[in-house]
Structure 1
Amino acid sequence: MKRKTLALPALIGLLAPTLAACGSDDEGAMKAIVVGTTDEFEATEDAPAPFDPAYAYDAGSWNILRQTTQTLMHLPRGGGEPVPEAASKCAFTDTENESYRCTLRSGLKFSDGNALTVADVKFSIERVLEIKDDNGPVSLLANIDTVETKGDAEIVFHLKKPDATFPYKLATPAASIVDQDVYNKSKLRDGFEVSGSGPYTMTAEVKDKKLVKAVFTKNPNYQGDLKLNNEKVELRSFADAEAMDTALTDGRIDVMTRTLSPDQIERMSGKPSKDVELVEMPGLEIRYLAFNTKDPSVKDKAVRQAMASVIDRTAITSGVYGTTAEPLYSLIPTSIAGHTNSFYNKYGEPDTQKAAKILSEAGVSTPVKLTLHYTTDHYGAGTAKEFETLKKQLNDTGLFDVDIQGTAWSEFRPAQKKGEYAVYGLGWFPDYPDPDNFVAPFLDEDNFLNTPYANEEIRSNLIPESRRASDRNQAASSFQKVQDIVAADVPVLPLWQGKQYVAARANITGVEWALNASSDLQLWELGRGVE
């Protein structure tokens, strides 16, 4: 991965005292590395426990849990199949991929010194299944039939159906191991506290029920295979990318991560400087429109097909996101095995006449009146402009009468889950880098969208069929059929796939590993070198 040295506007003379050489490596390691993010964390009536593993199911909250809790498995630094973390070894014990056995590392402890046992692992998994929060990640673990402990070190997961992707699911924060003496098995833990056995402990600084700063301190009781390159990291939340940019420029933060705006990335790319480095990394983030297929305005799939026929993805990516995004014609990104351009194959280039014919043959009166909903504070600065572009594209056809409405994430997500929006925009950062995770969360039972759309062929045949394949390349034909069905029915409409970027001061090391392809934040990789 090539690392470029790029620029941020800065008053070098004024910043010189801040950017002085760090001295010895020990002194540098002890000084907190400050990381900025536009992720916002708020405790509300609908979201009382942002960092409870039974509730948390968004990239920002998971990035807190990945620093503070352990899972039996985790994804290795450079990607690939999961490897043991809290476990010393894990494997399927049958040829059908229905029984998965793990052996726990010896001597594990929670950050408060309490012993971590297989009973805690069993408790943690069963707790997510019992709470079964509507907004939570229970769907990732829903295929577990029973959890069995054997002696002091072994735990066996008996699955309802074969699932070769189960090791990936055990590597997600949904399977975070928590202390049964601290967490209630049937109730969420209110507030921002996290008790785990991960590489860091976390202290939350809260104002008006919002997390202002999370301070991660090296956990002396941590035992796992992650190597920490620092003693302390602070994660600070900013209202927008510009405020975060200013903080990096004036030296208040060392690293700028999720989410940089397209304008910032273009500006940094054009003005190289020795003081700030911009790192481009491959990403698997996707953006899409989704539909409440029971809503009268979009219940007829002809309406959804007509939208698919006229939306110009290239105009969105080039006009709004520049080189940071590329058009996407499937739920599965182009860089994931099994991808096929199903939407392009079916609809081709934007065509108003084709859309008009689809609507006419279905007896749909035009213009079709719709409101497109989006969140104002969750996916970055380009979202509003993207929806203005979508509105113009649809209205310019004369076939639609579209309005748009932006809402804060704390209100947007509960309303979307309750089915209050007919059409809405969401992003997806994968739980794990497998095609299954771009299909099941949207189309299987208990899905992320809480969608009323249900295709029996997908749920009963194609998803189970794909999960029986230990060699994931052998599942490609099943995923191709799924993608073709989605293009025909349009319960979701994929728009684009993004890259990801991190900007950091030149003396910060490990920046190229700060995010993996699934956008998991890996704060332990960051270190402080000599300026």
Structure 2
Amino acid sequence: MKKVLVGLLVLVALSIFAVQVNYGIFADITTTNIWNLLGSGSSAQNFAVQLWKYPSLLGMNKDGTLIPSAATEIPKLVKEGNMYTVTVKLRKDMRWSNGAPFTADDVVFTYMTVKEMEIPGGNWSGAYEPEKVEKIDTWTVKFYFKEKETMTIYYDTLMTAIVCSNYWKPIVEKAKKQKDPVKWLLSQEVIDPGITALNLGKIEKGAFVQVTKQVPDYKYWAYGEKNIYYKGGGFSIVNPKTGFKWSTGDTKQPVTLQVENGPFVDTIVYKVFGNKQVAIQALIAGDIDYIYNPVGLTAGEAEQLKGQKDIKIVSNPQLGFRYLAFNMRKFPMNVKEFRQAIAALIDRDFICNQVLQGRAIPLATPVPPANSFWYNSAVKTIGEGLSMGERYQLAVSLLKKAGFKWDTEPVIDPKDTKNPVKTPGKGLKGPDGKPVPTLTLLSPGMDYDPMRAQTAMYIEQWAKNIGIPLNLKLTDFNEIVTKAFDDVDFDMYILGWGIGRVPTYFKSFWHSEEMAPEGFNTPGYSNPEFDALIEEFEYADTFEQARKAIFEAQRILAEDLPYIILFTNPLIEAYRTSIKFPFDQMLDGIQGYYGFPEGVKKVQ
């Protein structure tokens, strides 16, 4: 009887002291099957609740630095005969939540299953790259590649999610005996082991999904592991429990951030809401601690939460940008000084801070500053720091330099901060003496994107003030896409891109082999020096070499200006101060870390 009472008291104590946080999501999860999760079942909600539990060989820290995850180090790409190989040494201290050790068997099984069964889905694309994946020993695996596509290998193949082979192997073997093996495998709704202490618990469709701690702290291999950031970019991983250590850069500098691995909560409940307004009200009422939303809050929604008790609003740059593109196949867009003159007129700080009232962040390059490893901070926009009058003056001088003339040359007083254009330009003529034709700037309208529409209105007026015959056409988004990407029939347009953290998109947007309509190079930009840098980036022997190439590519783009990079949207998020995240200032926001399941703390 005494033992029963003690047992009951323990259960009561555990229930009293169990730590729970509540997140809001906007749809049910649709699958618990990793093969489907990274295929047709990919969704923001599925990823937020589950994807973080699977390991990969390599990863990136918050600064975008490549770091080992399940590997012990960053492996080297080596030429062997007619193949390129990567030999990966694995950590020996990692354990799946079912207690099985993480080994080379898990790695080989994952890659071979994807290839042999032809698992569909773009998120599995990295597993298709190697010709062969071979187990060397329990803690070593070797990849063989036909091509030396360094960036693809490191940032796609070696970042593929890995599954627990001793759990999945019998299921996959059974799948192979079915009439439609892949369909059968993807239809299995199971909760498999993860590499974390947390895993899926109760699922109530239309109501909530529960994630619970399933490995005690004292048994969890990663509990207490630290990620340490140093001034100047140094970084360390230190696991005091297992003794694993890895570092890169100067780790003798002062520590700027230390992130300790938990989990520090026993349960995370993801409550399903039909719409954002209901979730916002739940946040205000304290029913949830954080709203997970990949697109963040609108300015109006943020205003609604502003000043609410115990709620913190954070703003971070997104992975994406708005831009103005020139059709360099046509005059005068094919004249570099003309493009530079338009760029000189555009005061991004004024647009973002005054016109758009802080709802946008000015950008100088296609790499956001928060993506610090790839961002070239030395690149400046043309006219940066100048007054509007000085910008007009610079634009006029650039046009003159290229041989442009006016019937009535603009007269500028740079000291007049209110009305610097004393005489507007009229009758702009090219270097050949012929009038510059009326040009059209295409932009989405106010109903689709008021930020782009308002920006375009200012650009039109600034250009006209110095005699550039530019007419704005606010039009349907699809019309712009058709004219730019299919017909390639435009003068200038304003659109936006979502981008990846690793700037492989430089090739897609501006390499001469990617010309629209077959590719995404709508400006028709062709610069052999730029092309060579992109190829150097793709086939680099070291990451420093790749970084150096992208730094130089950013400099060239800022001078040649096939695009004028305008701004990015901040990602606005909100959470209650009853919880604490390891950090909340980073590229792509808290949602990019799925709300830190193993790092979030409940503030007592």
Q: Same fold (TM over 0.5)?
A: yes
1:372 aligns with 2:422: no
1:228 aligns with 2:215: no
Task: Pick the aligned partner of 1:494 from 562, 565, 568.
Answer: 565
Task: Pick the aligned partner of 2:549 from 462, 478, 481.
Answer: 478
1:507 aligns with 2:578: yes
Task: Pick the aligned partner of 1:122 from 106, 111, 120.
Answer: 111
1:389 aligns with 2:454: yes
The code of the aligned residue for 1:261 comes to T
Give the total of aligned pairs: 470
1:468/1:42 Cα in 2 relative to 1: closer, same or farther (>3 Å)?
same
Deviations 1:53-95 (A, max 9, x none): 357999887656642533222335787441223x455522649
Q: Which has the higher contact order (CA 8 A, sep 6+)?
A: 1
Which stretch has the larger CA shift, 347-356 or 452-461?
A: 347-356
1:66/1:355 Cα in 2 relative to 1: closer, same or farther (>3 Å)?
farther
Which stretch has the larger CA shift, 243-252 or 303-312?
A: 303-312
Q: Secondary structure at the match of 1:341?
A: coil
Task: Quote the offset at 1:202 in angstroms.
Answer: 8.6
Q: Determine the C-alpha separation between the residues in 1 that align with 2:326 and 2:555.
A: 20
Q: Secondary structure at the match of 1:117?
A: helix
The code of the aligned residue for 2:297 comes to L
The code of the aligned residue for 2:366 comes to L
The code of the aligned residue for 1:425 comes to L
Q: Determine the C-alpha separation between the residues in 1 that align with 2:329 and 2:61.
A: 43
The answer as to whether partners of 1:77 and 1:513 remain within 8 angstroms in 2 is no
Structure 2 counterparts to residues 229-268 of structure 1, below 5 A: 229-230=264-265, 231-234=267-270, 236=272, 239-240=275-276, 244-258=279-293, 259-262=296-299, 265=302
Task: Quote the offset at 1:392 in angstroms.
Answer: 1.8
Task: Pick the aligned partner of 2:87 from 101, 104, 115.
Answer: 101
The code of the aligned residue for 2:574 comes to A
Deviations 1:118-141 (A, max 9, x none): 3333237758998585xx685x78
The answer as to whether partners of 1:394 and 1:402 remain within 8 angstroms in 2 is no
Report the counterpart of residue 3 of structure 2 in structure 1: none
Task: Pick the aligned partner of 2:473 from 382, 387, 402.
Answer: 402
Report the counterpart of residue 361 of structure 1 in structure 2: 430
Report the counterpart of residue 157 of structure 1 in structure 2: 143
1:218/1:100 Cα in 2 relative to 1: closer, same or farther (>3 Å)?
farther
Task: Quote the offset at 1:386 in angstroms.
Answer: 0.8
Deviations 1:2-39 (A, max 9, x none): xxxxxxxxxxxxxxxxxxxxx978556464522357xx
Report the counterpart of residue 344 of structure 1 in structure 2: 382
Task: Quote the offset at 1:234 in angstroms.
Answer: 0.8
Report the counterpart of residue 354 of structure 2 in structure 1: 319
Structure 2 counterparts to residues 59-70 of structure 1, below 5 A: 63=48, 66-70=51-55
Structure 2 counterparts to residues 48-67 of structure 1, below 5 A: 52-53=37-38, 63=48, 66-67=51-52
Q: Determine the C-alpha separation between the residues in 2 that align with 1:324 and 1:33.
A: 28
The code of the aligned residue for 2:162 comes to I
1:57/1:306 Cα in 2 relative to 1: closer, same or farther (>3 Å)?
farther
The answer as to whether partners of 1:284 and 1:430 remain within 8 angstroms in 2 is no
Q: Secondary structure at the match of 2:542?
A: coil
Q: Determine the C-alpha separation between the residues in 1 that align with 2:201 and 2:332.
A: 45
Q: Could you tell me the percent identity over the aligned residues?
A: 15
Report the counterpart of residue 593 of structure 2 in structure 1: 521
The code of the aligned residue for 1:506 comes to T
CA RMSD of aligned residues (A): 5.8
1:81/1:245 Cα in 2 relative to 1: closer, same or farther (>3 Å)?
same
Report the counterpart of residue 287 of structure 1 in structure 2: 321
The code of the aligned residue for 2:377 comes to H
Task: Pick the aligned partner of 1:462 from 513, 516, 533.
Answer: 533
Task: Pick the aligned partner of 1:35 from 1, 24, 34.
Answer: 24
Which stretch has the larger CA shift, 325-334 or 289-298?
A: 289-298
Larger Rg: 2
Q: Determine the C-alpha separation between the residues in 2 that align with 1:417 and 1:50.
A: 34
Report the counterpart of residue 332 of structure 1 in structure 2: 367
Q: Secondary structure at the match of 2:377?
A: coil
The answer as to whether partners of 1:33 and 1:528 remain within 8 angstroms in 2 is no
Q: Determine the C-alpha separation between the residues in 2 that align with 1:419 and 1:128.
A: 39
Report the counterpart of residue 245 of structure 2 in structure 1: none
Q: Determine the C-alpha separation between the residues in 1 that align with 2:342 and 2:43.
A: 28
1:458/1:235 Cα in 2 relative to 1: closer, same or farther (>3 Å)?
farther
Which stretch has the larger CA shift, 214-223 or 144-153?
A: 214-223
The code of the aligned residue for 1:157 comes to F
Q: Determine the C-alpha separation between the residues in 2 that align with 1:415 and 1:130.
A: 36
Q: Determine the C-alpha separation between the residues in 1 that align with 2:284 and 2:321.
A: 30
Task: Quote the offset at 1:451 in angstroms.
Answer: 0.6
Q: Secondary structure at the match of 1:462?
A: helix
1:264/1:201 Cα in 2 relative to 1: closer, same or farther (>3 Å)?
same
1:177/1:104 Cα in 2 relative to 1: closer, same or farther (>3 Å)?
same
The answer as to whether partners of 1:145 and 1:157 remain within 8 angstroms in 2 is yes
Report the counterpart of residue 209 of structure 2 in structure 1: 215
Q: Determine the C-alpha separation between the residues in 2 that align with 1:374 and 1:170.
A: 41
Q: Determine the C-alpha separation between the residues in 1 that align with 2:190 and 2:201.
A: 7
Q: Determine the C-alpha separation between the residues in 1 that align with 2:369 and 2:341.
A: 24
1:243/1:232 Cα in 2 relative to 1: closer, same or farther (>3 Å)?
closer
Task: Quote the offset at 1:304 in angstroms.
Answer: 6.8
Q: Secondary structure at the match of 1:393?
A: helix
Gaps of 5+ in 1: 1-22, 44-48, 207-211, 377-383
Q: Determine the C-alpha separation between the residues in 2 that align with 1:320 and 1:295.
A: 32
Which stretch has the larger CA shift, 295-304 or 366-375?
A: 295-304
Report the counterpart of residue 431 of structure 1 in structure 2: 501
